[in-house]
């Protein structure tokens, strides 16, 4: 399709050969595709000390292994959507998975820290399709609050991976005695997902929704996805709150291990926080169609601000302990479970006919802003939880401002219609 005109491209053969995948299997598949990205980030966290020692990284520089991947993935999300709107979701997914596998192996063979950071950036950029395309695939099938429900269920499964990834990474490190094998595990996960997608995922792009590879059309589609007032506040708002989350991920190993002296318990503590997000997303999937994505996410955002204020107060005390930090961090990560999927679904709702380009453009804005903000927050680590707590509160308040802009000052609005 170009400028709303139906395409004359012939139907894709996959749609004729493969039956439509069931909702449950689709949710699991999309969740685990996105989880490859989370595994690529979180599995390496327990090995940062060993990695830094082997490759000569100094101080907070070790965080670049995570930050470079996140930031490059944000830029990379600009690319796959337009191609997926033209050639279909499957071919672009296969390209992204191939890069994920090959660059995982390349990271395992890196000989210097600078080389590893460059390879991680390349991995994030070229594998960005595994982040950008699942929401577009879901939008091909459903819309409205039902999409928010399905995305919440996807995030339940997706977030189980960050919950266990550090433990897997630590187990691999203990079993093989070398952090390089963690990247080998990433390659194996990518191969498994490639096989599953090949045999079970039909093409979901509707023939009448195909877009030409025409730069003005692509630019116009992407521009509309990130400039529409009704949705831009939600895109920027989620970038801000998840920037705070990325700040926690970047600094979590140092914060928990050094500031609170609980390095041996880091995988368990990280799993508790990520597990709380998973439980919250499951809860969101049970209530969002009843109350609506707007009402649920707006209430959660106000609660997030309150908890972040409490975090800042405790972090400002000279004797803050792990026993106050972890419950409050887990509470705010839980609240993100009621914000992330809902904000994303609201932002993507008006763009069914250009879901690939819209998902790419919005993902680019979220990921680059969030990753850059998260890298900055993580690099501000000063041996205490104060920089993180202050950032969480500031980003949440600014997120509320952006949402108010999109909603023209009126919160807790009506439910979305499915189309």
Q: Judge whether residue 15 has pLDDT over 60.
A: no
Q: Judge whether residue 180 has pLDDT over 90.
A: yes
Residue 117 confidence (pLDDT): 93
Instruction: Calculate helix-pair angle for 129-141, 144-176, nearest 10 degrees.
Output: 150
Residue 12 confidence (pLDDT): 39
**Closest to 304 (Cα-Cα) out of 279, 269, 322, 277:** 277
Residue 372 confidence (pLDDT): 83
Q: Judge whether residue 270 has pLDDT over 90.
A: no
Q: Judge whether residue 383 has pLDDT over 90.
A: no
Residue 10 confidence (pLDDT): 35
**Closest to 243 (Cα-Cα) out of 336, 314, 123:** 336
Region 273-291: what's the mean pLDDT? Answer: 84
Burial (CB count within 10 angstroms: exposed 0-12, middle 13-18, buried 19+), residue 382? exposed
* pLDDT, tens digit, 9 for 90 and up, residues 59-99: 778 878 888 887 888 788 888 877 888 888 899 999 999 99
Residue 19 confidence (pLDDT): 59
Residue 14 confidence (pLDDT): 45
Region 138-155: what's the mean pLDDT? Answer: 78
SS (H, E, C) the chain: CECCECCCCCCCHHHHHCCCCCHHHHHHHHHHHHHHHHHHHHCCHHHHHHHHHHHCCCHHHHHHHHHHHHHHHHHHCCCHHHHHHHHCHHHHHHHHHHHHHHHHHHHHCCCCHHHHHHHHHHHHHHCCHHHHHHHHHHHHHCCHHHHHHHHHHHHHHHHHHHHHHHHHHHHHHHHHCCCHHHHHHHHHHHHHHHHHHHHHCCCCCCHHHCCCCCHHHHHHHHHHHHHCHHHHHHHHHHHHHHHHHHHHHHHHHHHHHHHCCCHHHHHHHHHHHHHHHHHHHHHHHHHHHHHCHHHHHHHHHHHHHHHHHHHHHHHCCCCCCHHHHHHHHHHHHHHHCCCHHHHHHHHHCCCHHHHHHHHHHHHHHHHHHHHHHHHHHHHCCCCCCHHHHHHHHHHHHHHHHHHHHHCCCCCCCCCCCCC
Residue 141 confidence (pLDDT): 81
Distance of CA 384 to the CA centre of its chain: 26
**Integer angstrom CA distances of residue 306 from 125, 318, 335, 357:** 35, 21, 11, 35
Cα(51)–Cα(235) distance, rounded to whole angstroms?
Answer: 34
Check: CB of residue 252 under 8 Å from CB of residue 266: yes
Region 9-36: what's the mean pLDDT? Answer: 70
Does pTM top 0.75 for this prediction? no
- 121-156 as b/e: b if 16+ CB within 10 A: bbbbbbbbbbbbbbbbbbbbebbbbbbbbbbbbbbb
Q: pLDDT band at 18, cuts 50/70/90?
A: low
Check: CB of residue 56 under 8 Å from CB of residue 113: yes
* pLDDT, tens digit, 9 for 90 and up, residues 194-245: 999 999 999 888 787 777 777 787 788 888 888 888 889 999 998 898 888 8
Cα(60)–Cα(69) distance, rounded to whole angstroms?
Answer: 16
Query: Is the alpha carbon torsion for 268, 241, 251, 68 positive or negative?
Result: positive
Q: Which CATH superfamily is domain 22-200+228-406 in?
A: MFS general substrate transporter like domains (1.20.1250.20)
In total, the chain counts a number of residues equal to 419
Q: Judge whether residue 39 has pLDDT over 70.
A: yes
Least confident piece of the model among 44-58, 222-236, 353-367: 353-367
* pLDDT, tens digit, 9 for 90 and up, residues 307-324: 999 999 999 988 888 888
Domain-wise residue ranges, the chain: 22-200+228-406
Q: pLDDT band at 5, cuts 50/70/90?
A: very low
Percent of the chain clearing pLDDT 70 (strictly above) = 92
């Amino acid at each position: 399709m170009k400028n709303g005109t139906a395409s004359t491209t012939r139907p894709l053969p996959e749609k004729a050969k493969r039956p439509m995948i069931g909702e449950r299997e689709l949710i699991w598949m999309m969740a685990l595709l996105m989880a490859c990205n989370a595994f690529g980030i979180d599995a390496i966290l327990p090995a940062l000390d060993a990695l830094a020692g082997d490759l000569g990284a100094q101080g907070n520089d070790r965080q670049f292994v995570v930050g470079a991947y996140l930031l490059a993935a944000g830029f990379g999300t600009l690319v796959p959507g337009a191609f997926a709107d033209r050639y279909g979701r499957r071919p672009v997914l296969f390209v992204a998975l191939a890069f994920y596998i090959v660059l995982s192996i390349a990271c395992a063979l890196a000989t210097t820290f600078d080389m590893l950071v460059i390879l991680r950036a390349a991995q994030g950029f070229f594998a960005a399709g595994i982040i950008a395309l699942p929401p577009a695939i879901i939008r091909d099938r459903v819309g409205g609050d039902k999409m928010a429900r399905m995305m919440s269920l996807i995030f339940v499964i997706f977030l189980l991976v960050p919950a266990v990834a550090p433990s897997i990474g630590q187990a691999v490190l203990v079993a093989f005695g070398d952090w390089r094998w963690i990247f080998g595990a990433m390659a194996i996960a990518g191969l498994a997902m490639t096989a599953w997608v090949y045999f079970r995922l039909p093409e979901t792009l509707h023939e009448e929704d195909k877009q030409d590879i025409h730069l003005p059309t692509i630019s116009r589609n992407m521009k509309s996805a990130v400039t529409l007032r009704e949705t831009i506040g939600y895109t920027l708002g989620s970038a801000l709150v998840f920037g705070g989350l990325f700040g926690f991920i970047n600094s979590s190993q140092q914060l928990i291990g050094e500031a609170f002296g609980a390095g041996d318990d880091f995988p368990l503590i990280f799993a508790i926080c990520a597990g709380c997000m998973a439980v919250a997303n499951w809860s969101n999937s049970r209530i969002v169609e009843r109350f609506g994505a707007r009402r649920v996410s707006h209430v959660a955002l106000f609660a997030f601000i309150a908890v972040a204020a409490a975090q800042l107060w405790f972090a400002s005390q000279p004797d803050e302990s792990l026993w106050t930090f972890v419950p409050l961090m887990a509470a705010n990560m839980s609240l993100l479970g009621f914000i992330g999927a809902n904000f994303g679904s609201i932002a993507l709702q008006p763009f069914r006919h250009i879901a690939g380009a819209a998902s790419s453009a919005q993902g680019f804005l979220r990921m680059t802003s969030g990753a850059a903000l998260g890298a900055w927050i993580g690099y501000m680590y000063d041996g205490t939880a104060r920089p993180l707590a202050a950032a969480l509160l500031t980003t949440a308040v600014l997120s509320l401002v952006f949402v108010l802009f999109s909603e023209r000052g009126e919160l807790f609005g009506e439910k979305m219609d499915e189309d």
